[in-house]
Amino acid sequence: MGTLYEDIVAYGGEVFGEEHMETLRECVQCGKCTGGCPSGRNTALRTRKLFQMALLDLREEIFNAPELWFCSTCFTCYERCPKGVKTTDIIRIIRNLAAKEGHMSVPHRMIGVYVLKTGHAVPIGPDQMKLREAVGLESQPPTTQKYKEQLEQVQKIFRTTNYDAMIDFDWDTMNLRGMEKGGKK
Smaller CB distance to other proteins: residue 38 or 82? 38
Q: Does 53 contact other proteins by CB under 8 A?
A: yes
At 85, phi and psi to the nearest 5? Answer: -70, 130
Considering the complex, what minimum distance in angstroms separates the CB of residue 143 from other proteins? 5
Yes or no: say if 179 and 185 are a contact pair by the CB < 8 Å rule.
yes
Span 124-183, contacts to other proteins by CB under 8 A: 124, 128, 131-132, 134-137, 141-144, 147, 150-154, 156-158, 160-161, 163, 166
Question: Please, what sign has the CA dihedral across residues 165, 168, 171, 175?
Answer: negative
Considering the complex, what minimum distance in angstroms separates the CB of residue 22 from other proteins? 8
Q: What is the DSSP string of 66-84?
A: GGGGG-----HHHHH-TT-
Q: Is 8 helix (H, G, I), strand (E, B) or coil?
A: helix
Considering the complex, what minimum distance in angstroms separates the CB of residue 173 from other proteins? 21
Give me the half-sphere count of Cα atoms (radius 13 Å) on the Cβ side of residue 131.
6
Span 4-43, contacts to other proteins by CB under 8 A: 5, 12, 14-17, 22, 25-29, 38-39, 41-43
Considering the complex, what minimum distance in angstroms separates the CB of residue 35 from other proteins? 13
Among 95, 113, 175, 179, binds other proteins (CB under 8 A): 95
At 21, phi and psi to the nearest 5? Answer: -75, -35
Q: Does 100 contact other proteins by CB under 8 A?
A: yes
Q: Does 64 contact other proteins by CB under 8 A?
A: no
Question: Please, what sign has the CA dihedral across residues 109, 113, 116, 121?
Answer: negative
Only segment of 95-103, 168-176, 177-185 that touches other proteins (CB under 8 A): 95-103
